[in-house]
Amino acid sequence: MSHQDPTIERYGFTAVPRDPDVLFKDHPTASGPHPRQDPFELADFPIPETPLAKAVHEFVQKELDPPTVAHSHRVFFFGLALVRTHFPTWRLDAETYYLTSLLHDLGLAARFLSSTKLSFEFRGAIVARDAVLQLGGDGDVADAACEAIVRHQDVFVKGGNITTLGQVLQLATILDNVGTLTSLLHPSFISAVTTAYPRKGWGEHFARAIETELALKPWCHSTTFEVPGWREGMPSRFAGLVRGNEAMRAYE
Looking at the Cβ atoms of 8 and 67, the one nearer to Zn ion is 67
Q: How far is the CB of 193 from Zn ion (least distance, A)?
A: 14
Looking at the Cβ atoms of 12 and 107, the one nearer to Zn ion is 107
Q: How far is the CB of 129 from Zn ion (least distance, A)?
A: 17
Q: Select from 108, 109, 132 the least CA-distant residue to 221.
A: 108
Q: How far is the CB of 27 from Zn ion (least distance, A)?
A: 24
Q: How far is the CB of 105 from Zn ion (least distance, A)?
A: 4
φ and ψ of 121, to 5 deg? -75, -25
Per-residue H/E/C for 170-182: HHHHHHHHHCCCH
Q: How far is the CB of 103 from Zn ion (least distance, A)?
A: 10
Looking at the Cβ atoms of 100 and 173, the one nearer to Zn ion is 173
Give SS3 for 86: helix
The Cβ of residue 214 has, within 10 Å, a number of other Cβ atoms equal to: 23
Looking at the Cβ atoms of 86 and 205, the one nearer to Zn ion is 205
Query: By the 8 A CB rule, do 12 and 148 touch?
Result: yes
Show Cβ contacts of residue 135 under 8 Å, excluding neighbours closer than 6 positions.
52, 55, 56, 59
Residues 242, 133: Cα–Cα separation, whole Å: 33
Q: How far is the CB of 66 from Zn ion (least distance, A)?
A: 14
Query: By the 8 A CB rule, do 125 and 150 touch?
Result: yes
Looking at the Cβ atoms of 92 and 242, the one nearer to Zn ion is 242
Q: What does the DSSP 8-state code read for residue 100? A: H
- 101-122 as b/e, with b when 16 or more CB fall inside 10 Å? bbbbbbbbbeebbeebebbbbb
Looking at the Cβ atoms of 14 and 173, the one nearer to Zn ion is 173
Q: How far is the CB of 7 from Zn ion (least distance, A)?
A: 25
Looking at the Cβ atoms of 173 and 223, the one nearer to Zn ion is 173
Q: Contact positions toward Zn ion, by CB under 5 A?
A: 105, 173
Kindly give the interhelix angle for 187-196 and 66-86, rounded to the nearest 10 degrees: 150
